[in-house]
Structure 1
Amino acid sequence: MKKKLHLWHRYLGLVIALPLIIISLTGSILVFKEEIDHLIMPELATVNASPGSRLSYDSLHNTIKQNLPNYEVGSWEVFDDGKTADRVYVLEHGTDTWSKVYLDQYQGIVRAAPQPVDYYLTDWLLDLHYKFLIGDTGLWFTGIISLILMFMGISGLVIYRQFWKKFFTLRVKVKRMAFFSDLHKLVGIWSAPILLILGFTGVYWNISEIIHHEFEHADEPPHLVQGALYNPQLSIDSLMATAKTQMGGFRATYLMFPYEPDLPITFFGEVANTSFVTSEYASVVSFDKETGKQLPNYDIREAPFFLVVVDSFRKLHFGYFAGLTSRIIWCLIGLTPLIFAITGCYLWLKRRKPTRRRQDSSAYSAA
């Protein structure tokens, strides 16, 4: 059994080596997505203001409509840290295509024209990480890779089930094959728990997206946006005040407007007294798109345990639950598949050589 498991571990590792390296390297980079955006395009992604001094939502919404009369706001990422610009996702009239703009929420300035959601470098890397740049087909591909990653982590721990004996073993003054073998095992032992978390959360999100795209909306034609699908007289600021009153301590982080006929106006956000792995989008307040009447809330503090766990996947996957420390660790662990690929391929090639020599020798003797 152990021998078969070792073979599966070895050959599946060879099969997924390249795509896993791509996913892992892009993931390591994306851990610092915000910082990279601020560094390479400060004129778009960065603002300089005092936190808490952002303009009203109604004023900003009017600014977007005035600057982009042929677009409708679909969703809106909200920031109030004094340094990160809001990100607004819009749909052009007559299409179902999403575009992205940056908004200076303190001065009321729309920065640059709408661009495809994968136009900027880190957004392109996110699409590569998540879908391999091939749309919904990429969801299946990365989902399979994530499943194999989970198998690799579990099988590695089973194969080296007495791993605690070599928790710190790395022989340096030995032959290269022995050194690579030690390095492969040591890195695997240390990184396996986090890689299992990354693999499991990645599989969950991929399966969820596949179900949403392939099954729930498979027979529905895309809705082409022609105009606002909600009452334009509704005040976003009034809805926000209601949300804060109805759910104590609620702070909106993401606004979603109806981009399909049956959707409500929805505010995602965070509340106080939650776990350190609770995401900033965990709680939800929704409103009727015509009357503004509040619909049932979703307060993560009152949610079933299973849904609380699922919500934690975001911070666990991207590693920002403990600030800079956890992000650095997640970034470094993301680089480990490169070590696995180099050491694993080297060990595989070296172990094949004696077999080849024996086969060549037998063929020579038979002749």
Structure 2
Amino acid sequence: MARRGRSLWWSVHAWAGLKLSLFMGFILATGTLAVFAHELDWLVTPSMRVMPREAAPASWGQLADGAHAAVPGARLNSLYAPTHPGFAAEAWMDAGGARMVRVHLDPYTGAATGTAPWYNIHRFLRETHRHLMLPVKIGVPIVCTLALLLVASLISGIVTYKKWWRGFFKRPRGVDGRRLAGDLHRLAGLWSLWFTALIAVTGLWYMVESLGGDAPDQPHPPVLAAPSATLDGAALDRLVAAGLAAYPGLEIREIRFPSPKGDRGLMVMGQAEAWLVRDRANAVWLDPVSGAVRLVTRGEDLSLHQRISEMADPLHFGTLGGFATKIIWFLAGLALTSLSVTGVMIYSLRLHHSRPAPAVPANGWVRAWRGMGVWAYAALGLVILSLALTPGTIMAAMG
């Protein structure tokens, strides 16, 4: 009975890892790269690069003035603090196009270092990984179904690997390709067990959200009776000071400016005492005209449902501990992605040894493709569809 049960779990593991391996590998690879999406943009966008120096940072008002000077007549939508040392601050400006214009700003002087289009590497990786460039209501549930495969692979892998806890430091054998691929697969699987579980759980949560189980919105003040006037730098600095007085200890990471569609005032947000929450969880809403504080929200006051929702992104993308955790998440993502490759190799090599030519094709990738069956066409079709939709998405963003 034990042998029969293990054989069943092995079949589950092989099916989950082989049939949709193309699609799984694509989503895992784009997610792994997305961990360092901002850094990739930094490498290819000169205006994002600023030499760190010993100097006082520019005020938020100076940054706002620099953004207005760079794109005269545009409406300032939001300001963002630098992602890491050496990064420029960023403003999103509504210049009347289909998408925002990015303005990069020197965090020490507030002067613009250049502008960039809305669409960049970060947007490509995010939209590909999250919903395959498809409408969100369609693409997110499709991608999130892979979380079920990760759960199946995780459980079946542990059940079929006898005394798996002894394999963490087992040296891979290089006798032949089949044993080497198998040993590497097991080793990478063991060291990424925690990561597989984490990505599977957060992926299931995203599925719950996409199917209507998302957390209630955080409190926000009512719409102002009169629309707000454009803020200059001095006025913004006074509002920021009022916000910090209302929320001592708030590390401001983002400022959202009044919107012509439902003006609720100025929103100052960032990080404070609550751990594993997005910047929006800690916020101060201010009346841009009077400077009065309209609402203060704190991450520690969130409900359990809201707190789970806030935790998902920092845990999924590894931003909870800054650059250090992003490195760990990136390496774990590489290991998890490699499991899709080595799993296919194991299947192909095992088939080759058990049924030599001419019973099976001599080419290993042809053997793997045939082993995937009809699922190979579905998986490849989703990957090609996502890439085919990219140019149109870019053109729409630039239009």
TM-score bracket for the superposition, by shorter chain length: 0.7 to 0.9
1:72 aligns with 2:75: yes
Letter in 2 for 1:111: T
1:254 has 2:254 as partner: yes
SS, match of residue 192 in structure 2 = helix
Check the 8 A contact 2:196/2:336 in 1, yes or no: no
Q: Aligned match of 1:6 in 7, 10, 18?
A: 10
Query: CA 1:157/1:280 → structure 2, altered by over 3 Å: closer, same or farther?
Result: farther
Distance 2:178 2:240 in 1: 62
Identity among equivalent positions (%) equals 21
Q: CA deviation at 1:302?
A: 3.5
User: What is the CA distance between 1:263 and its match in structure 2?
Assistant: 5.2
Contact 2:181–2:346 (8 Å) recurs in 1: yes
Question: Alpha carbons of 1:77 and 1:233: their partners in 2 closer, same or farther (altered >3 Å)?
Answer: closer
CA contact (8 A) 2:246 2:293 kept: no
Q: Are the counterparts in 2 of residues 99 and 115 from structure 1 also a CA contact under 8 Å?
A: yes
Amino acid at match of 2:338: I
- Alpha-carbon distance in 1 for matches of 2:208, 2:259: 23
Q: CA deviation at 1:357?
A: 6.9
Who is 2:229 aligned against? 231
1:149 corresponding residue in structure 2: 150
Whether the 8 Å CA contact 1:253–1:281 is kept in 2: the answer is: no
TM-score between the two structures when normalised by the length of structure 1: 0.76
RMSD: 3.7
Partner of 1:15 in structure 2? Answer: 19
Greater mean deviation of Cα atoms: 133-142 or 245-254: 133-142
What is the match of residue 97 of structure 1? 99
In the TM superposition, what is the alpha-carbon distance from 1:260 to its structure 2 partner? 6.0
Secondary structure at the aligned position of 2:102 is classed as strand
Kindly provide the CA deviation profile for residues 27-51 of structure 1, in whole angstroms up to 9, marking residues without a partner as x: 3334334444444333333254445
Letter of the 1:342 partner, please give it. Answer: V
**Aligned-residue offset at 1:90:** 2.6
Question: What secondary structure sits across from 2:113 in the alignment?
Answer: strand
Q: In structure 2, what residue type is equivalent to 1:239?
A: L
Q: CA-to-partner distance for each residue in 1:55-97, whole Å, 9 max, x for gaps?
A: x33343244234323532222212397632112223332x553
Q: For residue 69 of structure 1, give the secondary structure of its aligned residue in structure 2.
A: coil
Report the secondary structure of 2:310's partner residue: helix
Q: Deviation of residue 115 (structure 1)?
A: 0.8
3-state DSSP of counterpart to 2:297? coil
- Give TM-score scaled by structure 2 length: 0.71
Counterpart position of 1:28: 32
Distance 1:74 1:61 in 2: 10
* 1:179 partner SS: helix
Corresponding residue number in structure 2 for 1:224 = none
Distance 1:252 1:319 in 2: 20
Instruction: State the shift of 1:331 in Å.
Output: 1.5
- Native 8 Å contact 2:255 2:267 kept in 1: yes
Aligned residue number for residue 108 of structure 2:
106
Alignment partner of 1:44 is 2:48: yes
Q: Mark the CA change 1:99 to 1:2 in structure 2 (over 3 Å): closer, same or farther.
A: farther
Q: Which residue of 1 aligns with 2:87?
A: 84
The 3 A distance-change label for structure 1 pair 80 and 166 is: closer
Which residue matches 1:168?
169
1:336–1:111 Cα change, 3 Å: same
CA contact (8 A) 1:73 1:90 kept: yes
CA distance in structure 2 between the partners assigned to 1:288 and 1:270 by the alignment: 21
- Residue 253 of structure 2 contacts residue 271 of structure 2 at CA under 8 Å; is this kept in 1? yes
Worse-matched range after superposition: 333-342 or 139-148 = 139-148
Between the two proteins, the alignment pairs up a number of residues equal to: 342
CA deviation profile, 1:7-34 (whole Å, cap 9, x unmatched): 2332232233223333333333343344
- Alignment partner, residue 312 of structure 1: 311
Q: Distance in 1 between matches of 2:62 and 2:323?
A: 34
Shift of residue 142, structure 1, vs aligned partner:
2.5
Aligned counterparts of 1:206 and 1:85: Cα–Cα separation in 2: 34
Identify which of 108, 114, 117 aligns with 1:115.
117
Distance 1:59 1:24, change over 3 A: same
Given that residues 170 and 179 in structure 1 are in contact (C-alpha distance below 8 angstroms), is that contact kept between their aligned partners in structure 2? no
* C-alpha spacing 1:48/1:175, structure 2 compared with 1 (3 Å): closer
Residues 17 and 337 of structure 1 are in contact (CA less than 8 Å); yes or no, is this contact kept in structure 2? no
- Structure 2 Cα separation of the partners of residues 175 and 114 of structure 1: 50
For 1:181, the equivalent position in structure 2 comes to 182
Matches of 2:47 and 2:353, distance apart in 1: 59
Give the secondary structure class of the aligned counterpart of 2:325. helix
Corresponding residue number in structure 2 for 1:334: 333
Kept in 2: contact 1:101–1:113 (CA 8 A): yes
Counterpart CA distance in 2 for 1:341 and 1:49 is 44
Partner of 1:285: 284
Report if the CA contact (8 A) 2:25-2:341 is conserved: no
Structure 1 equivalent of residue 298 of structure 2? 299
CA contact (8 A) 1:250 1:269 kept: yes
Q: Tell me how far 1:171 sits from its aligned partner.
A: 4.6
Letter in 2 for 1:110: A
Q: Structure 1 residues 326, 63: CA separation in 2 closer, same or farther (over 3 Å shift)?
A: closer
Is contact 1:77-1:87 (8 Å) kept? yes
Q: 1:193 — aligned with what?
A: 194
Where does the alignment leave 5 or more consecutive residues of structure 1 unmatched? 217-227, 361-367
CA distance in 1: counterparts of 2:253 and 2:11, whole angstroms: 47
